[in-house]
Amino acid sequence: MEGTLFKWTNYYNGWQPRYFVLNETGILSYYKSSELIHEGCKGSFLVPACEVKVHPHDPFRFDLIIPGEQFFCLKAKSQPERQRWLVALGTCKSRGTKSTTSTIVSISHLNAVDHEIKIKVQELHLYETVLTQRIHAIKSIANDTPIPDIKKLDESTSMLSVTCDAFIHTLDECIKLATGNSSQSLLLLSPSSLTAISDDISILQQSFSSIDSTKPKNSTETVLPKQNFFKTFFSELSYPFAKLTSLKFEEIHSELFLSTCEQYINLIEKFNSKTFIPLRADANGNINKLKRKIINDPNKFQTLYSIVNDEIIAKTTKEKNSATDALLWLKRSIHFLGCFLHEYGQDNQTVEDAMNKAYGQTLKRFHGWITRGVFSIALRSVPYKEEFLMSLAVNSNDAREVLFEQQIMNEMLEHGLNMNSVVNKITEFYIEHELESDEIIG
């Protein structure tokens, strides 16, 4: 299979089109364009070695993760195209896992069969996600009008049968591995993984049984697919930035934004250094300034736009302790955390290195030599990788599981992207209205 997909490059260039080719041996290569294939590929990797993850909110996006090495964020041009790629990649993994798994990943305390089961579990999560999303798309079309749009319905159901077959085939292989070649293998999977398999199958069965040609009464609930094995700092967030990424700046609810920021600011505690206390105090101080503005007139200041626009009209944006200035510095703090998560989530550097890069990309140019010196000291006292990852686990024992690190890295990348997406919306508005400032503090 081959075709154009959009690949995330960096925060400056964003999503860029690349031409991808999946050959019969399971190697996925990408080129700058179909016309430039003769110049050679820009990168290639073995699909059976990757985890394929469907994005829970973006219907066009999916990610390819090579554990401990690389992370590729990709987007298709349409939902049907994304599904064709997912089925092709999933089929490739299913075909290639048995012969390549034991040589691709070396895990000393698990034998080849145990690792194969874990790979199959990942495949089941992939197919379950695709099936659940497709089912709810079909239900949405069927319930939209008294007479469903047949063309849309055909498009949404075109790949359903193939995906069902792939799911059943992978599930059958998983059962054979667990009960045939190694009767003890399934016991080595973590309890949370086994629960996840059972719950996912139940969700899928409920989803299929709930599809009906008639419009269900009082039924608007959407069953979301489970993506994670372990509870983490990120999975327990009540207000993730993902809820804000689809909104324009003018639509971002002020109290929801501040509640979201408060939760993410708690991440600073995980840096395990008292020298980061000023950063957290500054962020909380700016949150409180904005809250005081809202309290003055809750009905008037329901959005961030209404708060800033009020000061633009009053020409008070440059005044000391203005809400506009508070939001400016708050979004810079969030930008720093978002860039850190993105840098560290790539899993190719230490906590200190990732934080140093994030600081250089965000806050450093606004800090004088005194504040830079404080940050320099703080960076040398951040925790090592093992301690940092353990601090992000709700249950510290989970941090010892093989798949925990992979999950937490994926979460960091995803949350980092969402945080910076929201920050960019605010920054664009500030630049447009000349509210950005190059003032240096400390």
**Residue 138's pLDDT is what?**
74
Residues recorded for the chain: 442
Round to whole Å and give the CA distance between 230 and 397: 10
**Residue 262's pLDDT is what?**
95
Name the more confident of 197 and 165. Answer: 165
- Give residue-wise pLDDT tens across range 359-376: 999 999 898 888 888 888
Q: Indicate if the pLDDT at residue 346 is higher than 90.
A: no
Whether residue 138 contacts residue 131, with contact meaning beta carbons closer than 8 Å, is answered with no
**Residue 193's pLDDT is what?**
43
* Lowest mean pLDDT across 69-78, 191-200, 323-332, 398-407: 191-200
- Give residue-wise pLDDT tens across range 158-177: 666 666 766 777 777 777 66
Q: Which long-range contacts (CB under 8 A, 24 or more apart) does 139-148 make?
A: 139/210, 139/211, 142/211, 142/213, 142/215, 143/215, 143/216, 143/219, 146/215
CA angle 232/238/244 to nearest 5° reads 110
Q: Indicate if the pLDDT at residue 217 is higher than 60.
A: no
Task: Report in angstroms the alpha-carbon separations of 307 from 203, 221, 255, 293, 298.
Answer: 43, 34, 11, 8, 10
Question: What does the buried/exposed string (b/e) look like for 18-50 if buried means 16 or more CB atoms within 10 Å of the residue's CB?
Answer: bbbbbeeebbbbbbeeeeeeeeebeeebbbbbb
Residue 386, token pair as written in the block: 């093992």
* Lowest mean pLDDT across 145-159, 297-311, 361-375: 145-159
Of 6, 124, 135, nearest in space to 61 by CA: 6
Cβ contacts of residue 400 below 8 Å, gap of 6+?
A: none
Tokens 């940050």 — which residue? 375
**Residue 106's pLDDT is what?**
40
Domains (ranges, CATH) in the chain? Answer: 2-210 (2.30.29.30), 241-432 (1.10.3520.10)
Residues 397-418: what's their mean pLDDT? 85
- Which helix (H) or strand (E) is 10 found in, with range? strand 2-10
Round to whole Å and give the CA distance between 67 and 127: 20
Q: Give the pLDDT band of residue 91 (cuts 50, 70, 90).
A: confident
Alpha-carbon torsion, ordered 136, 139, 144, 146, to 10 deg: 180
Q: SS3 of 359, please? A: helix
Alpha helices (runs of H) in 323-363, residue ranges in sequence order: 323-345, 351-361
Residue 68, token pair as written in the block: 């401990």
Q: Residue type at 269?
A: E
**Residue 181's pLDDT is what?**
47
Residues 385-398: what's their mean pLDDT? 89
Q: Indicate if the pLDDT at residue 80 is higher than 80.
A: yes
Cβ contacts of residue 108 below 8 Å, gap of 6+?
A: none
- For the chain, the average pLDDT equals 78
Round to whole Å and give the CA distance between 251 and 306: 10
Of 122, 56, 45, nearest in space to 90 by CA: 122
**Residue 159's pLDDT is what?**
62
Round to whole Å and give the CA distance between 22 and 13: 25
Residue 350, token pair as written in the block: 């230490």
51-54, strands of its sheet edge to edge: 43-46, 27-31, 14-22, 2-10, 70-75, 61-66, 51-54
